[in-house]
Amino acid sequence: MAALVCAVALVTGPFVLILPRGVAISVADWWCRANLKLLRALVGIDLEIRGVENIPKGAALVAAKHHSALETFGLMPSLSDPAFVLKRELTWLPFFGWFLLRMKMIAIDRKAGSEALVQIIEQAKVAAADGRQIVIYPEGTRRKVGEAPRYKLGVGHLYERLGLPCHPVAIDAGVFWPKGTIARRQGRAVIEFLDPIPAGLDRVAFQEMVRQRIETATEALVAEARYGKRN
């Protein structure tokens, strides 16, 4: 299966830049689903999506906790047309980067300081106008389970400037796929779409609200994964 995934990427990669964007999205969905099947078959990690009724259908801001690549594999096929905020260096990678460019993901220069925020907002407005879901990891990087959260101000500015509802997402993937180690733990990870936060709130109030909702729900999922029972 792994060889098949790589072979398809090698064959289709050079043609990505001339494909319709929708086709590139479909290929990326397939690739994410294939990786989830590989994780289930080879490592014993399954993935459950909760709060399906809260998944946005049109333009929205999606703010998710970030533990590992697992949540990206799960979020991509769960959303109809996501635009992930990511570091531009990823677009320089052969094959993988070509897909990111063709899918019109929101690539930013993290060394650009305040200019990076301008880049995010400009690209996000274009994506939102096309009815896409803007996906951002508010901490800007993966965090270890139990590590003190460090939410950046970008998610608040993006929420304010876009004028869209925000859909917080909690995860417990770090229990099964810890940051900084090759170790994997068998079990069922969960991605949970929480109740949306309506547009139009004060930016500072929103910043605290989205942090509190994501962290509270993530802590509950982590406790369930470690000490509870999942059928």
Instruction: Give the pLDDT confidence score for residue 47 in this predicted structure.
Output: 95
Assess contact for 193 and 55: CB atoms under 8 A.
yes
pLDDT for residue 11 is more than 80: no
Instruction: Report the range of poorest mean pLDDT among 76-80, 85-89, 94-98.
Output: 94-98
Residue 7 predicted with pLDDT over 90: no
Beta strand residue intervals within the chain, DSSP E: 45-50, 60-64, 82-87, 106-108, 133-136, 166-171, 187-193
pLDDT 10s digits, 129-151: 999 999 999 998 889 888 899 99
Confidence of residue 2 (pLDDT cuts 50, 70, 90): low
What integer pLDDT is reported at residue 6 of this predicted model? 62
Structural domain span for residue 49: 2-227
pTM: 0.88
Instruction: List the CATH number of the domain containing 103.
Output: 3.40.1130
Residue 15 has pLDDT above 80, yes or no: no
Q: What is the number of domains present in the chain?
A: 1
Q: What is the pLDDT of residue 162?
A: 96
Paired residues of 171 in beta bridges: 191
pLDDT of residue 117: 85
